[in-house]
Amino acid sequence: MPDTAPTDSSATPPVTVTQVLCAFAYANDLAFGLQLEDTLRSAYVAWCVATELGLSDAARHDAYVTALLKDAGCTSWTTELAAAWHTDEIAARRDFLIFEPSNGMPAFVRWMRSHVGQDEASLAKLRRYLNVLRTSRPFFTEGFATTVTVASRIAGRLGMSPGVQQALLAVFEQWDGSGYPEGRAGAQIPQVARVVLPTFFLVPVHRVSGRAAAIELATTLRGHAFDPAVADAFLTLAADDTFWAELEGLDIQNRVLALEATEPVAHADDLLDAAALAFADFIDLKSRHAAAHSRRVGAVAEQLARAMRCPQEEVSLIRRAGLMHDLGMVAIPSYLLERPWSSLSEAERDQFRLHPYHGERILQRVPAFTPLAALVGNHHERFDGSGYYRGLRGEHQALGARIIAVADRLDTLTHDAPGVPAVPIDVALETIGSEPFDPAVFAALRGALEGSDNPRQTSPQPRPAGLTDREVEVLRLAASGLPRREIARRLHITENTARHHLEHIYNKTGATNRVSATLFAMEHGLLAG
């Protein structure tokens, strides 16, 4: 392929809303440590249960969509989980929530011994156990509140119904009032949420342990975690071999898509742009150091594509792929992402190097996103073949992947990373020029940075929600994960003043913690520089 070969977009398939939701389903599976297609199977079970209950078409649709998006906020609390548990939080959260649900203190202690305090000495591990036990209820309450709020917000951004948004806010509430975040019980929980909650547990338990284990779980949790009527509907379905055969079939994606066959959307570009932005934020909430990284990479990649005179359709593909380039990061534990590269073992570095593969794997499965798959999969390749994960040389990479590689490197160098402070633009440019990137793309970057169309310059924007310039400065530092003391030091103010600024920010934006404030900042372009 010639150096400047355009991205092949001639076979872009028709786009439907359900395809976009399936992409989120696959990403959520990896982010939660589940097997790909677990979430699709959850949506299938939710649809069947809603049908068995005789729910209206609208309620059945909402249950289907809610099941596909139920984990759309699952990256938003992983930094906090990794710090509190000192472990691979993906495996720990999966095992705690799914395979030890509502089994009391013995199960909780067994789970802690398996996961909490990874690689810590005995005394430090014991202290961590005690702290986890002491703070578990308020910690989980805040974590679930953040998770469901982000999921509901993403659903709204994708144009999902108010019913779906409300169900996502309550999807982890339990029939007996022991769920999160509000402890709602019985009919206080939206019916759609009551339909979807059991699917979260039943599908992976069935996959790991078989039909009998799923039936036993539904029976055991009936009237406790699960709405009795929902559990009974599932048990009725479970008596039918056809239900199981369809659930276990290899064609589950086609079966799930066929449940709600929809016409291609009239404004596909608008939907894909909204989805790409939602994915960008979904990805970047996974690390305190990544806030708005994907949005910035997408913006720079778009401007470089224009500078290199790519056709408009290709520019759009490159922008979306830039927004989604780190999609595979959802499969990498925050426990690794929050540590300096120098502290990682070679096995851990190899795990990190697989994130382009995971992103490509997700996108290849969904027709609406297949044109982006190679760009995402190849964004860490290098012009001399020294990159990963395939080791492709320049002539075997699409131009879009080479553009995204340079945009990604620029943003990485100019923003703090664990153990690595940001460098000035001129130093970043010198570094990139010494590394094996496409010379034509680097020339375009250098020309843009030195010209009037500098891709990192942004026009002053009105402050949203009545925020002051100082509050925006505080919000930017808080979004990067800095504590109040460090925010105060950097801005030369007292810690008490920093606290007051944060209180005002939360009140004005409706945020309840750092994560929701960070999402607000990303959505309103406050972290673009």
Tell me the CATH number at 147. 1.10.3210
The answer as to whether 22 is a domain residue is: no
Residues 238, 155, single domain; the answer is: yes
User: How far is CA 411 from each of CA 207, 216, 228, 420, rounded to the nearest angstrom?
Assistant: 41, 51, 51, 13
Residues 181, 287, single domain; the answer is: no
Over residues 416-474, the pLDDT tens digits come to: 999 999 999 999 999 999 999 999 999 999 999 887 566 666 666 678 999 999 999 99
Tell me the CATH number at 474. 1.10.10.10
The answer as to whether 155 is a domain residue is: yes
The answer as to whether 258 is a domain residue is: no
Of 422, 450, 478, the residue at which a domain comes to its end is 450
**What is the spatial distance between Cα 474 and Cα 490, in angstroms, rounded to a whole number?**
10
The answer as to whether 432 is a domain residue is: yes
In this structure, what token pair is assigned to residue 486? 């460090």
Q: How many CA atoms lie within 13 A of 347 on its CB side?
A: 0
**What is the spatial distance between Cα 482 and Cα 85, in angstroms, rounded to a whole number?**
20
In this structure, what token pair is assigned to residue 337? 């992402």
Residue carrying the six token digits 């929980």? 189
Nearest to 444 by CA among 402, 387, 415, 412: 402
Question: What is the structure's pLDDT at 125?
Answer: 93
In this structure, what token pair is assigned to residue 225? 């975690």
User: 56-59 — which CB contacts under 8 Å span 24+ positions?
Assistant: 58/161, 58/163, 59/163, 59/191, 59/192
The answer as to whether 6 is a domain residue is: no
Low-confidence residues of the chain, pLDDT below 70?
1-13, 99-103, 261, 452-461
Question: What is the structure's pLDDT at 190?
Answer: 98
Residues 338, 417, single domain; the answer is: yes
In this structure, what token pair is assigned to residue 270? 């608008």
Q: How many CB atoms lie within 10 A of CB 289?
A: 18
User: 235-239 — which CB contacts under 8 Å span 24+ positions?
Assistant: 236/52, 237/45, 237/48, 237/49, 237/52, 238/211, 238/214
Residue carrying the six token digits 């409300």? 166
The answer as to whether 208 is a domain residue is: yes
The answer as to whether 459 is a domain residue is: no
With 0-12 / 13-18 / 19 or more C-beta atoms within 10 angstroms meaning exposed / middle / buried, residue 13 is middle
Over residues 103-131, the pLDDT tens digits come to: 678 888 889 999 999 889 999 999 999 99
Q: Which amino acid is at 148?
A: V
**What is the spatial distance between Cα 149 and Cα 155, in angstroms, rounded to a whole number?**
10
Q: How many CA atoms lie within 13 A of 466 on its CB side?
A: 8
Nearest to 333 by CA among 77, 149, 23, 113: 77
User: Do 17 and 161 form a contact (C-beta atoms < 8 A)?
Assistant: no
Residues 57, 185, single domain; the answer is: yes
Tell me the CATH number at 385. 1.10.3210.10
Residues 239, 277, single domain; the answer is: no
Of 401, 422, 450, the residue at which a domain comes to its end is 450
Residues 476, 435, single domain; the answer is: no
In this structure, what token pair is assigned to residue 200? 């979260």
Residues 64, 193, single domain; the answer is: yes
**What is the spatial distance between Cα 254 and Cα 38, in angstroms, rounded to a whole number?**
14
Question: What is the structure's pLDDT at 252?
Answer: 94
3 state DSSP class of 420: strand
Q: By residue range, what is the domain housing residue 296?
A: 268-450
First to last CA, the chain: 35
**What is the spatial distance between Cα 472 and Cα 475, in angstroms, rounded to a whole number?**
5
Question: What is the structure's pLDDT at 8?
Answer: 44
What is the number of structural domains in the chain?
3
Residues 122, 246, single domain; the answer is: yes
Of 251, 276, 301, the residue at which a domain comes to its end is 251
Residues 393, 349, single domain; the answer is: yes
- Geometric angle at alpha carbon 337, from 333 and 339, rounded to 5°: 120
**What is the spatial distance between Cα 316 and Cα 145, in angstroms, rounded to a whole number?**
35
Q: Which amino acid is at 412?
A: T
Q: Which amino acid is at 187?
A: A
**What is the spatial distance between Cα 520 and Cα 55, in angstroms, rounded to a whole number?**
35
Residues 490, 405, single domain; the answer is: no
In angstroms and rounded to an integer, the radius of gyration of the C-alpha atoms of the chain is 23
Which stretch of DSSP H or E encloses residue 129?
helix 122-157
Alpha helices, DSSP H only, in 158-227?
Answer: 162-169, 191-209, 211-221
**What is the spatial distance between Cα 173 and Cα 260, in angstroms, rounded to a whole number?**
27
Question: What is the structure's pLDDT at 300?
Answer: 97
The answer as to whether 51 is a domain residue is: yes
Which stretch of DSSP H or E encloses residue 487?
helix 484-491
Is this model's pTM higher than 0.85 or not?
yes
Nearest to 126 by CA among 137, 114, 116, 140: 116
Question: What is the structure's pLDDT at 9?
Answer: 42
3 state DSSP class of 226: strand
Residues 195, 325, single domain; the answer is: no
Residues 203, 82, single domain; the answer is: yes
Q: For residue 279, what are the contacts with CB-CB under 8 A and spacing of at least 6?
A: 23, 24, 27, 294, 323, 324, 327
Residue carrying the six token digits 């599932």? 234
Over residues 28-72, the pLDDT tens digits come to: 999 999 999 999 999 999 999 999 999 999 999 999 999 999 999
Q: Which amino acid is at 426?
A: D
